């Protein structure tokens, strides 16, 4: 195969695999480059489950993208034959004025999303595993659930290859540059040229996109799978949840989705240590396990059981915790997607569509002004 392509995609995790698929499905000659194996566990797109939801407390401006993402989740499930996502309902709990609750209510009302406001007693009655503080309230939305990150990445890669994409793994990018009307990407295996370049670097953004000057910080996060003292069966029909306490600290979790021996997954949201992909501590320590168990049992007392296993991943945080999705301001043939700040995976299918639009036409019908990198240069 020729080493000249219409577009090269660097990074084949969540966003890059979706971009490669959308580009190849449109008939473009695509080269995908990934430093690790397919659907690897060294970055952010792993851990068995990621929350998907529409009542978006971060900002109502995300909702139109979520509505399109849900259409594409269904298309991906249909085309791949894999259960890449599942709806379980979602419960967002905390003080009435908390970001988790007030923000979810705001987004639901602004976009007319079906939802139900519940007081503490109603939450306990509907979901017996939950024991929120008496002054807490919750928003329940039926259209929430979880995506399977490894299955999603694998499905996008398989469909991209089926559409003709040339996907290469174990090939680390050493350099990229724009020259003339196109780009050149150099790896240890050789150099490749293309008319356009899409960079989806995940936690490697500070290195590959240093010239953006936007100061992305990489944060180590831990995911925990606890064995409920009442057994996993009683957690199988629970909703996904996000819970905020009086101090503003958030945790999140899932129903029991991995069978009787799979435990119940939970984690803190944005309570990690700064790191780099090279320095991240992959070991999970006893004090961390104790802290997680203590916090989650305030809401779900039955999660007082033993730890089955734990895993680390990395958030790539921008200063305002909004994404970066845009044509590179200094390179007209380069499109970037980075800084997903711990809440990006639910957008994977629509981000792939947006990146294909930007790379091949320079624009997109989707609302992405919020994600312009220029907003971060002075922060």
Write the pLDDT tens digit of every residue in 75-116. 999 999 999 999 999 999 999 999 999 999 999 999 999 999
Two structure tokens written together for 208: 């590959």
What is the pTM assigned to this prediction?
0.97
d(CA 110, CA 320): 22
pLDDT beyond 60 at 185: yes
238-262 confidence digits (pLDDT tens): 999 999 999 999 999 999 999 999 9
Q: Measure the N-to-C terminal CA separation of the chain; round to a whole number of Å.
A: 44
Banded pLDDT at 378 (limits 50, 70, 90): low
Q: Tell me the pLDDT of the chain averaged across its residues.
A: 97
Residue 298's Cα: distance from chain center in Å? Answer: 26
CB 26 within 8 A of CB 20: no
Helix segments in the chain, DSSP class H: 14-25, 63-80, 104-111, 120-126, 149-162, 205-208, 286-296, 348-361
Nearest to 257 by CA among 139, 147, 156, 344: 147
d(CA 359, CA 364): 10
Give the residue carrying structure tokens 């698929």: 21
The sign of the dihedral angle between the CA atoms of 323, 367, 164, 2 is negative
Mean pLDDT of 322-337: 97
Q: Please list the residues that pair with 369 across neighbouring strands.
A: none
- Largest separation between any pair of C-alpha atoms in the chain: 65
User: How many CB atoms within 10 Å of residue 225?
Assistant: 21
Nearest to 4 by CA among 185, 146, 265, 266: 185
Residue 211's Cα: distance from chain center in Å? Answer: 24
pLDDT beyond 90 at 286: yes
Mean pLDDT of 43-72: 98
Give the residue carrying structure tokens 């595993």: 129
Banded pLDDT at 179 (limits 50, 70, 90): confident
pLDDT beyond 60 at 379: no
* pLDDT above 90 as % of the chain: 97
Question: Could you give the C-alpha distances from 121 to 97, 101, 297, in angstroms and in order?
Answer: 18, 16, 17
What pLDDT score was predicted for residue 181?
83
pLDDT beyond 50 at 2: no
pLDDT beyond 80 at 341: yes
Give the residue carrying structure tokens 């419960």: 91
């Amino acid at each position: 195969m020729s080493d000249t392509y219409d577009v090269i995609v660097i990074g084949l995790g969540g966003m890059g695999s979706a971009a490669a698929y959308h580009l190849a499905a449109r008939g473009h000659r695509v080269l995908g480059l990934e430093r690790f194996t397919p659907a690897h566990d060294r970055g952010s797109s792993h851990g068995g489950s990621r929350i998907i939801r529409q009542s978006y407390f971060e900002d109502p401006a995300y909702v139109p993208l979520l509505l399109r993402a849900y259409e594409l989740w269904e298309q991906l499930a249909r085309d791949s034959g894999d259960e890449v996502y599942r709806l379980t309902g979602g419960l967002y709990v905390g003080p009435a004025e908390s970001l988790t609750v007030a923000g979810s209510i705001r987004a639901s009302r602004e976009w007319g999303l079906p939802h139900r406001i519940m007081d503490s007693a109603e939450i306990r009655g509907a979901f017996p595993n939950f024991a929120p503080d008496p002054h807490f309230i919750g928003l329940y939305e039926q259209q929430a659930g979880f995506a399977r990150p490894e299955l999603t990445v694998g499905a996008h890669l398989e469909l991209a290859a089926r559409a003709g994409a040339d996907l290469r793994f174990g090939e680390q990018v050493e350099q990229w540059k724009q020259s003339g009307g196109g780009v050149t990407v150099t790896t240890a295996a050789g150099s490749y040229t293309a008319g356009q370049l899409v960079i989806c670097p995940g936690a490697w953004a500070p290195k590959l996109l240093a010239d953006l000057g936007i100061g992305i910080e990489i944060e180590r996060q831990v995911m925990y799978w606890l064995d409920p003292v009442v057994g996993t069966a009683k957690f199988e029909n629970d909703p996904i949840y996000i819970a905020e306490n009086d101090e503003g600290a958030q945790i999140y979790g899932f129903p029991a989705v991995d069978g009787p021996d799979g435990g119940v997954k939970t984690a803190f949201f944005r309570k990690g240590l700064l790191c780099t992909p090279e320095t991240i501590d992959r070991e999970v320590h006893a004090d961390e396990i104790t802290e997680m168990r203590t916090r989650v049992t305030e809401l779900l007392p039955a999660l007082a059981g033993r730890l089955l296993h734990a895993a680390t991943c990395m958030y790539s945080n921008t200063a305002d915790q909004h994404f970066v999705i845009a044509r590179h301001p200094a390179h007209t043939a380069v499109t970037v997607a980075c800084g997903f700040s711990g809440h990006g995976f639910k957008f994977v299918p629509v981000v792939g569509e947006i990146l294909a639009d930007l790379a091949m036409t320079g624009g997109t019908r989707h609302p992405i002004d919020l994600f312009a990198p220029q907003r971060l240069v002075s922060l």
